[in-house]
Amino acid sequence: MNDFELLVMRVPSPVVMVHGGAGSYLKTTTRAQRIARGDALERAARRGMAAMIPHGGRGAILEAAGELETDPRFNAGRGARLQRDGRCRLSAAMMDGRRHRLSAVYNVADCLHPTQLAAALQDRGDRNLDSEAARTLMRDLGIAPTDVRTPANIARWRALVSAQGPGGRPIADPESAIGDADDTALLAAHRAGAPIPDDLAGPAADAYPATLPPEDRRHGTVGVVALDTDGGLWAATSTGGRGHETPGRISDSPTPAGTYACEAVALSATGFGEQILDLNLGGRIATRVLDGMGLEAALRRTFEEVVRHRALLGVIALTAEGELGYAYSTEACGIAWIDATGRVGRDRHSRAEDD
């Protein structure tokens, strides 16, 4: 991977912009699938904008994220990737740029809308909760647990486990291992796991190890940024994680490296979480914009570094000046936005007129 895609333009505010994950999925998805995902992203952006007037920026990002969390095509809420023990754990963050406040839940099991938990935490003293505390919060808020595993994701987990059983032998009954941290299943899943990022770096960056889930299955985290009618910036990101990871692994999404908003810029990242954390992506871009760099220069400088580090990731961003931008070092990243005039836009791979 030697290059990156970048777009920055000025748009009239308010604005809502969403992403549906970054990855190298062009060869493993059909054009129709990409357009259908683009339709879903655009619908989420429109719903966010419809919520903007009655509910402000916070309501707008919650609405857009909530829409994508219920769509099983995205790796957030329903449709989240299963971790190595066959369970889904969701992470999400929200940040209010005006109050400069991040709130997040890490690895909460069986939660359809983790962004709702992050939103509820905005007004509390303890704003960043681990799985156990997030589960208690769910109970306190009267939110019932929801099994967010889809049949397709269970089948995928089963295939990964049975294809890579101990000693290369298929597991006799992988279904029985779903949901319990059975040693055999864990060992097998570990062998099928994704040793990244080293295996993805270097000249053969496109030749993913056979043990990795295909790239069409490695995108789908969702993120939203908004510039509201009062010039306030908002960001939210929601994810099921990288997929097939060690239970308890921390994603970048609930951290300020993956979700960030201040008075100058709001952003949401997607891609390999370890690399997003290593680069402190959110902090890097925000500091540049806060120090007076325009969004285009800030994204360009940052993505030159991203490419130098052979990192595979993407980001969407809005500034208080009304600049909208995105960049990604992966093959593609699903993105859609809507501005104050109702004008919508999408990344080039999910537009009907361009592939």
Burial class (CB in 10 A: 0-12, 13-18, 19+), 159: middle
| Residue 135 binds to ligand ASP (criterion: CB under 6 A) | no
Distance CA 83, CA 192 (A): 12
CB of 57 to ligand ASP, least distance (A): 22
Stretch that binds ligand ASP, among 40-48, 145-153, 238-246, 286-294 (CB under 6 A): 238-246
Question: Cα–Cα–Cα angle for 103, 68, 61, nearest 5°?
Answer: 45
| Residue 330 binds to ligand ASP (criterion: CB under 6 A) | no
Amino acid (one-letter) located at 113: H
Q: Which of 153, 239, 259, 350 binds ligand ASP (CB under 6 A)?
A: 239
CB of 112 to ligand ASP, least distance (A): 18
CB of 176 to ligand ASP, least distance (A): 27
Stretch that binds ligand ASP, among 82-90, 98-106, 149-157, 269-277 (CB under 6 A): 269-277
Angle 183-191/151-163 helices, nearest 10 degrees? Answer: 80
Closest C-alpha to 337, from 30, 64, 4? 64
Instruction: Scan residues 163-222 and list those touching ligand ASP (CB under 6 A).
Output: 219, 221
Amino acid (one-letter) located at 317: A
Amino acid (one-letter) located at 165: G
Distance CA 153, CA 147 (A): 12
Closest C-alpha to 84, from 240, 303, 308? 240
Stretch that binds ligand ASP, among 106-114, 270-278, 287-295, 346-354 (CB under 6 A): 270-278
Site string for ligand ASP, 5-34 (x = CB under 6 A): ----------------x-------------
**Considering beta carbons, is residue 59 or 273 the nearer one to ligand ASP?**
273
Distance CA 162, CA 57 (A): 45
Could you list the residues that contact ligand ASP (CB under 6 A)? 21, 219, 221, 239, 241-242, 251-253, 270-273, 276
